[in-house]
Structure 1
Amino acid sequence: MSKMVHVTTLLAGSALLLSMACKANKADTSRVIANVGGEKITEAEFREVVTTLSPDPKEAQTFLNDPAAREDRAQLANRIAMSRAISAYAKQTGLDQEPSVKRQLEQQQANVYFQALAKKRMPTAEPTDEQLLAFYKEQVERMKAQGGTAVPPFETVKAQVAQGYKQQRMAAISQDIQKEIKAKVPVTLADDYRPASE
């Protein structure tokens, strides 16, 4: 049951963004599970949302098919429908045209794109003990160079070393993505708006 709850929690936050953009390109003849202001949400679309957002395909299938997950599915379908209703209402009232809202949506969209790029490049395999030990030794040397003295043994801090290793990898991937983007989409700032680091 906890896995189903995990999927629901994971999907709940992300579903709001994806559900606004998730439209079937080809004719979808699956059962309609919700109608939001005349716009239909189909079972196939719902399945696509779940499988796209779940990190584990088996967990997604359990979420979609297990009778015990019925209420979790209903809650997610309700969240997706409500996010569509909010988007429709924003368009009806002109809220989607307000400059501050447009800027926030643009920033959120850029964040989603960046996270997707980073996710594609982040290795899915856990780091090996050799990689972790090499990272640990680098950190010990850095600490010694800064005057640190007490260093716990590797086995004692292995879990923290793994977390630090992954964070360092993500930071390196983020920098690589930013460099690649700047190379393909040149950005020029006026002198008085350019960060001192550039």
Structure 2
Amino acid sequence: MRKPILIASLAAGLALALGCGKPASKDASRVIASAGGEKITEADFQGLVKALSPDPAQAASFLSDPAAREARAQLADQLAMQKAIVAYANLQGLAKDPGVQRQLERAQAQVYFQTLIQKRLAGAEPTEAQLKALYDERIAALKAQGQAGSVPPFDQVKGQLPNLWRQQRQQEAAQELQKEIRERIPVTLADDYKPVAAPAGQ
């Protein structure tokens, strides 16, 4: 299991989940970390790891494998420090700073958008036919540019195509989501603030 990568991905999501100002769930589990009176219980920690890890088996291994003990400790320390930073920033009055609030709103929108895309793509795996269609599409584009002379056959590059397919699906899902959001949540701009090129989805 690639624990450093898991820690990095979990830390970002857990920071938002634990620092969003909601009270911690009431449970009787052991407190594993605290900062400025804010507590992180073992149940909170486990629940968040399971919720935010893309692979349930990986999350379970991360939470139980004795070899992952140091990785768990590092993550708990990161989370406690994040709570401490939030508490310190609040003492400095940043919670009422309009500039900070705008940055937080922007970051929150980005996290929401990425999460919505991930939910749409959850469990999506390309079929052989989809990979072949993607390969043929790329070959056609290279031929149009006069660069398809040394392209390896499909069977040789098939193993590399799923990642390319996922990237393409993420881009398509982002465009679809933006279009849906604009249809459900009307967005208007003053004439002198309208972009020359129409935004995606319009």
Counterpart of 2:34 in 1: which secondary structure? Answer: strand
How far, CA to CA, are the matches of 1:151 and 1:165 in structure 2? 21
Counterpart of 2:33 in 1: which secondary structure? Answer: strand
In the superposition, the TM-score normalised over structure 2's length comes to 0.87
Residue segments in structure 1 that go unaligned for 5+ positions in a row: none
How far, CA to CA, are the matches of 1:25 and 1:88 in structure 2? 15
- Aligned residue number for residue 175 of structure 1: 175
- Aligned residue number for residue 71 of structure 2: 72
How far, CA to CA, are the matches of 1:163 and 1:4 in structure 2? 21
Is structure 2 residue 198 aligned with structure 1 residue 194?
no
Given that 1:24 and 1:45 are in contact with CA atoms closer than 8 Å, whether structure 2 keeps it comes out as no
Please report how far the alpha carbon of residue 173 of structure 1 lies from its aligned counterpart in structure 2 after TM superposition: 0.5
Report the CA distance shift for 1:16/1:118 in structure 2 as closer, same or farther (over 3 A).
Answer: same
- Aligned residue number for residue 10 of structure 2: 11
Is structure 2 residue 90 aligned with structure 1 residue 91?
yes
How far, CA to CA, are the matches of 1:156 and 1:148 in structure 2? 18
How far, CA to CA, are the matches of 2:70 and 2:167 in structure 1? 36
Counterpart of 2:175 in 1: which secondary structure? Answer: helix
RMSD: 2.1
Given that 1:16 and 1:80 are in contact with CA atoms closer than 8 Å, whether structure 2 keeps it comes out as yes
Given that 1:5 and 1:72 are in contact with CA atoms closer than 8 Å, whether structure 2 keeps it comes out as yes
Please report how far the alpha carbon of residue 148 of structure 1 lies from its aligned counterpart in structure 2 after TM superposition: 4.1
Q: Which moved more, 1:15-24 or 1:85-94?
A: 15-24
How far, CA to CA, are the matches of 1:179 and 1:137 in structure 2? 28
Please report how far the alpha carbon of residue 96 of structure 1 lies from its aligned counterpart in structure 2 after TM superposition: 2.2
Q: Deviation digits for residues 157-184 of structure 1, max 9, x if unmatched?
A: 3244333322221111101100111011
Q: Deviation digits for residues 108-162 of structure 1, max 9, x if unmatched?
A: 1001100110001015243122111012112222333344442512223324433
How far, CA to CA, are the matches of 1:197 and 1:140 in structure 2? 30
Code of the aligned partner of 1:105 = L
How far, CA to CA, are the matches of 1:12 and 1:178 in structure 2? 27
Please report how far the alpha carbon of residue 16 of structure 1 lies from its aligned counterpart in structure 2 after TM superposition: 2.1
Q: Which moved more, 1:69-78 or 1:6-15?
A: 6-15
- Aligned residue number for residue 185 of structure 1: 185
Counterpart of 2:2 in 1: which secondary structure? Answer: helix
How far, CA to CA, are the matches of 2:19 and 2:2 in structure 1? 25
- Aligned residue number for residue 121 of structure 1: 120
How far, CA to CA, are the matches of 1:104 and 1:20 in structure 2? 15
Bigger relative contact order, structure 1 or 2, given CA contacts below 8 A and separation 6+? 1
How far, CA to CA, are the matches of 1:136 and 1:123 in structure 2? 23
Given that 1:4 and 1:59 are in contact with CA atoms closer than 8 Å, whether structure 2 keeps it comes out as no
In the superposition, the TM-score normalised over structure 1's length comes to 0.88
How far, CA to CA, are the matches of 1:135 and 1:186 in structure 2? 34
Q: Percent of counterpart pairs with the same letter?
A: 50
Counterpart of 1:172 in 2: which secondary structure? Answer: helix
Counterpart of 2:197 in 1: which secondary structure? Answer: coil
Given that 1:4 and 1:62 are in contact with CA atoms closer than 8 Å, whether structure 2 keeps it comes out as no
